[in-house]
A and B are shown apart, each in its own frame.
Chain A
Amino acid sequence: SAVISQKPSRDICQRGTSLTIQCQVDSQVTMMFWYRQQPGQSLTLIATANQGSEATYESGFVIDKFPISRPNLTFSTLTVSNMSPEDSSIYLCSVHSGVYNEQFFGPGTRLTVL
């Protein structure tokens, strides 16, 4: 299994500002994933972060809006840039691990944009 921590756990931000979310894993992993979960909704994959290469973004998400860093095998950051109220959501970091290659999720960062 993998233990994942995220910072901050929650934040309230002003429109037009940016927030960087940090994700730390207790073991080395090749891929880290960033998901968004809007209130009462399912999980939507934003991007896959690979160490040593650019992140791979899913349809509807772009690097300018959600820049990602992956400096080593245990850490990643996701920045939500030029925020608007529509970006209010929970952002979850995740890794594949375990016998079943299941997803382990961090506790999430609850973002509110005013």
Chain B
Amino acid sequence: GQQVMQIPQYQHVQEGEDFTTYCNSSTTLSNIQWYKQRPGGHPVFLIQLVKSGEVKKQKRLTFQFGEAKKNSSLHITATQTTDVGTYFCAGYNNAGNMLTFGGGTRLMVKP
């Protein structure tokens, strides 16, 4: 079945440093979504990428979808303490009917 892996599992950064999490799928994805889960909260949708090689930005967050539509990344520039949480990627299979979540990357930011 479809598997979605994320690395790293954890990341500690100093406030102001950059952060990147990588997502890799065992199969080609029709699209990929990113979610953020704050400590004690539930996952909240951030963005969706559909096209091969697509890049989208949300303020300090940059999302990329690989050319082969099997990998993706989320980059945060100049992290802030409000960025703390776990970031999940989730990929839809080609039929678009099955969403598989990656293991998540837990980001901790030291002020």
Contact = CB atoms under 8 A, between A and B. Distances in A.
B96 to A, nearest CB: 8
Interface string A98-111: 10101111111000
B45 A43 contact: no
B93 interface: no
A43 B88 contact: yes
A107 B41 CA distance: 7
A104 B45 contact: yes
B101 A42 contact: yes
Given A100-B33, A102-B33, A103-B99, A42 B88 contact: yes
Given A100-B48, A102-B33, A103-B90, A92 B42 contact: yes
Contact of B104 (A42, A100, A108): A42
A53 interface: no
- Interface size class on chain B is 10 to 19
Name the prevailing secondary structure of the A interface residues.
Answer: loop
Interface string B1-38: 10000000000000000000000000000000101000
A43 B87 CA distance: 12
18 contacts: A41-B104, A42-B88, A42-B102, A42-B104, A43-B88, A43-B101, A92-B42, A98-B45, A100-B48, A102-B45, A103-B33, A103-B35, A103-B43, A103-B90, A103-B99, A105-B42, A105-B44, A107-B41
Interface of A: 40-45, 59, 92, 98, 100, 102-108
